[in-house]
Structure 1
Amino acid sequence: MSTEVSNNTALERFEIYVDGAIAGYAEYQDTASERAFVHTEIYPRYEGQGYARLLIETALDSTRDDKLGALPMCRAVHHFIETRPEYLVMVPHWARDRLNLPQ
């Protein structure tokens, strides 16, 4: 199976495609210095196959490349960052306490 993650800036979301079909997305809202991830969804047919991890990892890597911080407002992105400390540095210190993330 081929997978591709792309940033659909018109809809403000990262989309993951599996064999050309959309399998899910991670919606965001950009500010001047952060990207707030507000909702992530993987369609039922694609759940449990690691696509959420790939989608979120790619979205966060792209966010870092864009020199933006990350605000994990949705559960999936929050859990991803919480369990992968290397991404915690992307969350501004002022937001960590509010989002129940380690300082």
Structure 2
Amino acid sequence: MTRELMDRTGAPVTVALERAEPVSAYTVSVAGERVGRADFLDVPDAHERVFFHTEVDARFAGRGLAGLLLREALADSVREHLTVVPVCPLFARHLEKHGDDYVAEGGAFRRPGRADLALVRRAVQGPA
């Protein structure tokens, strides 16, 4: 998945999906430079996607890039029929405010639990 969009300034940006194991990410690039990412884990047996970290380079603050990442990631999750688990505070706040709209668009989400946090910890730290 790669989408060409515009940020709040009208500048073209690219949002792309970068698959990797165990952590994948949606990335945002400006003029070919990757300037942000939303990291996630897919839980295949559960058909869930756990979003756990989002960041955008401070040089690009105020341009709406984190919002573009979030919206594209959620739209992709709907298309893939995945339940979103928002460990990332940005995703959690968005779904707290707009969860009903997300569900109306065909999305599904649930609150994270201890097992989700442990899954993220293991993925980020790697094998012991």
Q: Tell me which interval the TM-score lies in, with the shorter structure as reference length.
A: 0.7 to 0.9
- Are 1:90 and 2:108 matched, yes or no? yes
Compute the displacement of 1:87 (Å): 2.0
Is contact 1:53–1:80 with CA below 8 Å preserved after alignment? no
Compute the displacement of 1:36 (Å): 0.2
Q: Give the alignment's Cα RMSD to 1 decimal.
A: 1.6
Which residue of 2 is the match for residue 45 of structure 1?
59
Residue type at the aligned position of 2:102: Y
Distance in 1 (CA, whole Å) between partners of 2:63 and 2:24 is 24
Which residue of 2 is the match for residue 101 of structure 1?
none
Larger displacement relative to structure 2 (82-91 or 62-71): 82-91
- Are 1:29 and 2:41 matched, yes or no? yes
Structure 1 gap segments, 5+ residues each: 99-103
Compute the displacement of 1:91 (Å): 0.6
Which residue of 2 is the match for residue 6 of structure 1?
16
Structure 2 gap segments, 5+ residues each: 1-10, 114-128
Compute the displacement of 1:20 (Å): 1.4
Distance in 2 (CA, whole Å) between partners of 1:54 and 1:13 is 13
Greater Rg, structure 1 or structure 2? 2
- Are 1:17 and 2:29 matched, yes or no? yes
TM-score by length of 1: 0.83
TM-score by length of 2: 0.68
